[in-house]
Structure 1
Amino acid sequence: MTRQGRGVGELLRDWRRTRGKSQLDLSIEAGVSARHLSFVETGRSRPSSELILRLAEQLDMPLGERNTVLLAGGYAPAYPSRQLNDPELAPLRAAVRQIIDGHSPYPALLVDQHWQLVEANSAVALFTTGADPHLLNPPINVLRLSLHPDGMAPRIRNLPEWRAHLLKRLHQQAVTTNDPSLYELHQELRGYPGGNDVAAPISDDAVSRVVIPLRYHHGDQVLSFVSTTTLFGTPLDVTVSGLAVEAFFPADPATTATLRTLAEPTAELG
């Protein structure tokens, strides 16, 4: 049995239902009889660790949840969960540092599965300047920082549009991972002012017809960004599987020029 007293069969059944699959669908995909799958879900048959991992793969379960189901079945976890400062992850941290530093003078940051800030380049200060200090105390949640009225929100020109985009993305992630912490974060962010969960674009320029930009006030100028997300391919570690690099690119020449100017070292007097 696992937390909340759920056994391996019940956990697998819950994930199957979360993914909207029938027993027949899953049994065909996993190469097991529907009768045997039914016995596993009802607790009449104890699945092997190999079968658990095969079912988990077909259900696209997060690595941490695969470990949970293995433990419920009486088996050891299959995937390690290291701290980010673990020496074995040093090459990964170095690679990430190279990516985000190499992205300068444009903002880039590394976040974990709960949107907590792990690494950032110096250009991210553009977004954090002016935020209330309580939002910048570690661990910094970048979604909370973005939408909180004491954070970036007052300077986001298209806040209803950007807010709707972030809430939709967070909800999709919560559904995919079935993570209670993400559902709680989504509920919290929905309570912040700034518009509805669904908002129409406030502009009809070329960029807005392709992606949702972030339009951000910097002094008397509005900077325009498009963002990309980079995940680690084929992760075998629980922690690594939840990491993502969020990179922002200028969406117009004026933003490009401003960011490059801001990155120039201050000329010495004399």
Structure 2
Amino acid sequence: MTVPKFGVGTFRLSGQAVIDSVKNALSAGYRAVDTAQIYGNEAEVGQAIAESSVARADLFLTTKIWVEHYAPDTLIPSLKESLSKLRTEAVNLTLIHWPAPKMGVDIPELMHTLLEAKKQGLTQHIGISNFNIALTQQAIDSIGAENIATNQIEISPYLQNEKLTAFLKTQQIDVTSYMTLAYGKVLNDPVLNRIAQQHQASAAQIALAWALQKGYSVIPSSTKIAHLKANLRAQDIQLNDEEMRTIASLERNGREVDPEALAPAWD
């Protein structure tokens, strides 16, 4: 896989909270950090990395281009601004944050501009986020699947996105799961807690282990170092076939993030 299996997310974190979260994550052993222009925390993420003892070369850093920067003459300048905030010459991965079909976004033009950013050495890899099958196919037709590292999409035990993930697998495009803990809803799930007891684990660890076992990358966030460390331990949990089937039965199309102006028609 291009994208590391385990990273720390920074969605909804700002100021000192995101600085502390990223520094704590790096000290706990994380080596991948996910941010975005719209999060408004790239400068703080850059500060946290600079103040950590981890070399930039040892990190996988992801950011995402926001919709207001999709025009060919603004995308690359906006990415350069992100690099300045992140205190790096290049990021490891740059994603198109939302396809925004209702805004008339030209996917082929957008992907070619993003590929140009890669050719200029501003980003090691490029990819997409929140794209459905049809729009992913548009992106593939534009620049080739080999140039699309991942599709970062919402996946949790309650929103398993099997149709889309199956398609991405056929295209050899990595799947990155965000919102894997469903805004914390998994923490009180009786089914996940029952499985967790069998593994001397938490429901959060079981949800993350499930996503990892499905072959997805995960990027959970936390402001508490104990939770950051606990999340990492999900990598050591091996769920059996029955447990995987039980979690599969939790599917309920429980989407948490669905901005009307930006989201596609979901598969």
TM-score (norm. length: structure 1)? 0.27
TM-score (norm 2): 0.27
If asked which structure has higher relative contact order (CA below 8 Å, sep 6+), I would say 2
In our comparison, the structure showing a higher alpha carbon Rg is 1
